[in-house]
Chains A and B, each alone.
Chain A
Amino acid sequence: MRKLRKLAGLASAFLGASASTAQASYGLLNMREGVTETSQSVYDLHMTIFLVCCAIGVVVFGAMLYSIVNHRKSKGAVAAQFHESTTMEILWTIVPIVILVSMAIPATSTLLAMEDSSDADMTIKVTGIQWKWKYDYVDGDGAGVSILSSLHPKLNEARQLGANADLSQFDDHYLLDVDNPLVIPTGKKVRFLITAADVIHSWWVPDLGWKKDAIPGFVNESWTKVDQPGVYRGQCAELCGKDHGFMPIVVIAKAPEDYAKWVAEQHGAAAAEAASADREWGKDELIAKGQQVYTTNCASCHQPTGQGLPGAFPALAGSAIATGDPAAHINTVLNGKPGTAMAAYGALLSDADIAAVISYERNSWGNDAGVVQPAAIKAAR
């Protein structure tokens, strides 16, 4: 298998000249060692077991190959008639058991360390939503900070261009960049509480060394401690519907002082956002903001044209809800539709965002049903 890996490496060298820069940064043949103690011990475990398998493979396939070369009729081999040997049977039962036990010991200690999320310095709640991630900082300086993290708008645009998209401009970040990344401090044990709002997702950043399912109605625990500042990318690993392939994760680890600066910025932005809900907005202003919100959150199902996808996702153009009583429209966006992919955006977006997107939907694609003010959303919550 090692030889095969080498061969494969060679093959990639021939074929991959064009993408060589991208390859160099992503370790194309093997598991990533990652940036945490956990990911390192997972990597070591992986390599140990891989090499043990290779050794067994060499012995078993070697014996087989020897036999295939030498014990063939065309070489005049006459079949021996031996069979049944209790000694052999016992031997090839005991030896594998010994090998397995020697594998199980390091596996057990790694597992116990990974599952111990006690004594964390801070806690972040991760919520999987079709098809984005929400991060709520539960305690510490960041308490109250809330981030909605979706596929980066540029990538979202590119992936809908089909064969016309020029993906080379994104280097190796195509589909792996978000609008609002998760930021954590270095050198701290960060505990994640992982859950989901609709269907099952799985939160995975290879460099951290694990993935954990995000399950509606359940809270899973995991943790990480990153020492090196940097940007670490991953994506949803559990099939979660149409845009499962388009819900990346970006974690930025910042030195504590940079992290503190970032937290302060977030608090400031949140305050400004809250204040904006109290003032009266102009129609153009609402619709312009609404279009952005729509593109990020709504367009993948209801489509940029507002036509939806027949049978799966309803059209908004000319729909009863988007042209009728605003209260019903507000209710649908705030509370979602259980049993469908329509999320309860009340928990995800600010009053101004929701008012803007509703206004946009009521004034696009031939709809003409007036605007909704942020104050109306605040009242309806």
Chain B
Amino acid sequence: MSTATATHDDHHDHGPAKGLMRWVTTTNHKDIGTLYLLLALVNFFIGGAMAMVIRAELFQPGMQIVDPQFFNSMTTVHALVMIFGAVMPAFTGLANWLIPMMIGAPDMALPRLNNFSFWILPFAFTLLLSTFFMNGGGPAAGWTIYPPLVLQMGDGFPFMIFAIHLAGISSIMGSINVVVTILNMRAPGMTLMKMPLFVWTWLITAYLLIATMPVLAGAVTMLLTDKFAATSFFSAAGGGDPVMYQHIFWFFGHPEVYILILPAFGVVSAIVPTFARKPLFGYSSMVYATASIAFLSFIVWAHHMFTVGMPVVGELFFMYATMMIAVPTGVKVFNWVSTMWKGSMTFETPMLFAIGFIIMFTIGGFSGLMLAIAPSDFQYHDTYFVVAHFHYVLVTGAIYSIMAATYYWLPKWTGNMYDEKLGKMHFWLSTVSVNVLFFPQHFLGLAGMPRRIPDYAVQFADWNMISSIGGFVFGVSQLLFAYVVIKTIRGGEKATDQVWEGAHGLEWTLPSPPPYHTFTEAPQVK
């Protein structure tokens, strides 16, 4: 390398280009990872602001703040922004930053595609949010955009569909990049079964995305032609079938649930061994469990639709298949607990978030198991019990793992330690408030409160008020998270290359912060 020409040197040894164009034209996996994480953070606060509107309206019975139509678009767009705009880009950002550094690759395999797949996203979400300013307002049919209701939407309808298409295209391109990178660019000696679990879970997630995103694209395209081209895919009056949409949507939607949680398993499987100072209990069984969950995720979709009137044999099949998911998920939880067992644990912020993840994700898993029981689901379905369930797995599951990952790798990325005291404060504030927020929603659902309603009977008032208070505290606590992250980026106590005493893996062999280009010469893995 040292004998190369001046331009070549320029490319390798000097840092990134200066100014805004660095970010627009970058093909560097670290830059793109940062962009993804930043977008996710912005969307987290946009979606969070919508959640605040929802909880403010539900603070008391009666309609006080917004009208019902706007309330419906709040619940709808809150979900779309959080799922497609916050959690998914955050994991893609983590993948960009970490996969090359974990497998000893110089960058992602397809750097220009990488740039493109990120830069589509800001446009997708601008389109989505712009519908609020159009005739008829934003989408208000729920994030599942079921027909025929969604076809009643105003002028924003095609913009929403186009936004989903763009986000889907971005995900597919990002996933192809992940698969190609992992399969082709591992350092010598890094066999598949030596890859860190985060890489494994992302490899499987990427396949799920490639398999399901086109299905979503097909479903929403059929909605588009039903609305504008007089087709009747989902209109019974024209010989179509509104339930067929739900089957297609959930064939995407259930694997999507695992797309949102498998990388989280990878993050937790990295953090727990580090702070227990003990190897992960069962590496290969974790890999097999991830693969089993991914497979099962394709054959359980109709448990979201137990009440649509399926034949009883169908209901039984989807009930049994769904219950089976508890087995590999249990394997994961047991593995994490066994990893902690007889370890030498310390409880820095990433470990706190990881433990919080394991406990609260498991609570969400329990309610998931209850929801799998079809006869009980006839009561739970479309109530706040479901809302509580999926917020336990997505907020205290997926988002907690993203927070854990941020605290865990931020010193590596920036070269600065975060403020441990503030980090712990963020954890405890979040954990207390998130349970005040979501635990009472189990009670509300069981007592009979349907989801997606802007106003409710007075007997639900107490728990709604408690839940809203939890929501406001949780919302404000996340400002602390943003503060800690910004503070760490700007400076702080210098981190060592190792950062954490118990950390293992190639990324920890690099300097903190790592140079702009890393592993330009592949490391040897033994």
Contacts and interface: CB of A to CB of B under 8 A. Distances in A.
Given A71-B343, A176-B457, A312 B136 contact: yes
Contact of A92 (B237, B334, B376, B456): B334
Interface stretch (A230-238, A250-258, A273-281, A285-293): A230-238
Contacts, number: 325
B17 to A, nearest CB: 44
B307 A50 contact: no
Contacts of A173: 457
A379 interface: no
A82 B342 contact: yes
Interface string A49-93: 110010011001101100110011110011111111100110011
B338 to A, nearest CB: 7
Interface in A15-46: 15-16, 19, 22-23, 25-32, 39, 41-42, 45-46
A217 interface: yes
Nearest to A110: B375
B282 interface: yes
A165 B62 contact: yes
A339 interface: yes
A153 interface: no
A204 B448 CA distance: 9
Given A78-B344, A81-B279, A83-B281, A25 B459 contact: yes
21 contacts: A15-B466, A19-B458, A29-B446, A29-B447, A32-B447, A45-B376, A57-B363, A67-B342, A80-B278, A84-B281, A84-B283, A88-B338, A92-B334, A111-B315, A159-B63, A170-B458, A238-B382, A239-B142, A241-B149, A246-B455, A312-B154
Interface of A: 1, 4, 8, 11-12, 15-16, 19, 22-23, 25-32, 39, 41-42, 45-46, 49-50, 53, 56-57, 60-61, 63-64, 67-68, 71-74, 77-85, 88-89, 92-93, 96-97, 100, 103-104, 107-108, 110-112, 114-115, 158-163, 165, 167-168, 170-176, 194, 198-200, 202, 204, 206, 209-213, 215-218, 220-221, 234-246, 309-312, 338-341
B379 A42 contact: yes
Nearest to A172: B459
Contact of A83 (B280, B315, B450): B280
Interface string B337-378: 111111111110000000100110011001001100111101
A168 B61 CA distance: 10
Contacts of B363: 1, 57
B459 A311 contact: no
A154 to B, nearest CB: 14
A338 B237 contact: yes
B374 A89 contact: no
Most chain A CB within 10 A, of B137, B307, B448, B453, is at B448
Given A57-B362, A235-B450, A211 B382 contact: yes
A209 B307 CA distance: 12
A93 B342 contact: no
Given A112-B312, A239-B142, A210 B379 contact: yes
A197 B443 CA distance: 33
Interface of B: 61-64, 67-69, 72, 134-137, 140-142, 146, 148-149, 151-152, 154-155, 235-237, 241-243, 276-285, 307-309, 312, 315-316, 319-320, 323-324, 326-327, 330-331, 333-334, 337-347, 355, 358-359, 362-363, 366, 369-370, 373-376, 378-379, 381-383, 439-440, 443, 446-448, 450-459, 461-463, 465-466
Contacts of A23: 459, 462
Central interface residue in B281, B363, B376, by most chain A CB within 10 Å: B376
A172 B235 CA distance: 38
B273 to A, nearest CB: 9
B243 A100 contact: no
Nearest to A16: B462
Contacts of A92: 330-331, 334
A15 to B, nearest CB: 5
A67 B370 contact: no
Nearest to B280: A83
Contacts of A96: 326-327, 330
Contacts of A77: 342-345
A57 to B, nearest CB: 7
Given A110-B375, A173-B457, A202-B382, A312 B137 contact: yes
A61 B334 CA distance: 10
Nearest to B370: A49
A45 B61 contact: no
Contacts of A111: 312, 315-316, 319, 374-375
Contacts of A175: 61, 455-457
Given A53-B370, A68-B340, A104-B323, A30 B439 contact: no
Q: Which one of B319, B326, B373 has the greatest number of beta carbons of chain A within 10 Å?
A: B373
B459 A340 contact: no
Given A71-B340, A242-B68, A311-B155, A218 B309 contact: yes
B243 A215 contact: yes
A200 B307 contact: no
Contacts of B319: 104, 107-108, 111
Nearest to B449: A235
A111 B355 CA distance: 37
B307 to A, nearest CB: 5
Contact of A67 (B135, B141, B337, B375): B337
Contacts of A42: 375-376, 378-379
Given A71-B343, A107-B375, 18 more contacts: A49-B370, A53-B366, A60-B337, A60-B362, A67-B337, A83-B283, A92-B334, A104-B323, A158-B62, A159-B455, A167-B62, A175-B457, A217-B242, A218-B236, A218-B242, A239-B451, A245-B450, A245-B456
B345 A71 contact: yes
Contacts of B382: 202, 204, 211, 237-238
A239 to B, nearest CB: 5
Contacts of A78: 344
Nearest to B279: A83
B242 A200 contact: yes
Contacts of B440: 8
Nearest to B273: A83
Nearest first, the 8 A-B pairs at minimum CB distance are A217-B236, A245-B453, A311-B135, A220-B309, A53-B366, A210-B378, A79-B344, A80-B342
B344 A56 contact: no
B309 A212 contact: yes
Contacts of B285: 89
A353 B201 CA distance: 62
A131 B219 CA distance: 27
B312 A115 contact: yes
A114 B375 contact: yes
A199 B343 CA distance: 56
B308 A215 contact: yes
Nearest to A338: B237
A25 B457 CA distance: 12
A163 B61 CA distance: 9
A229 B189 CA distance: 75
Contacts of B241: 217
A15 B281 CA distance: 45
B340 A211 contact: no
Contact of A22 (B155, B339, B459): B459
Contacts of B462: 12, 15-16, 19, 23, 28
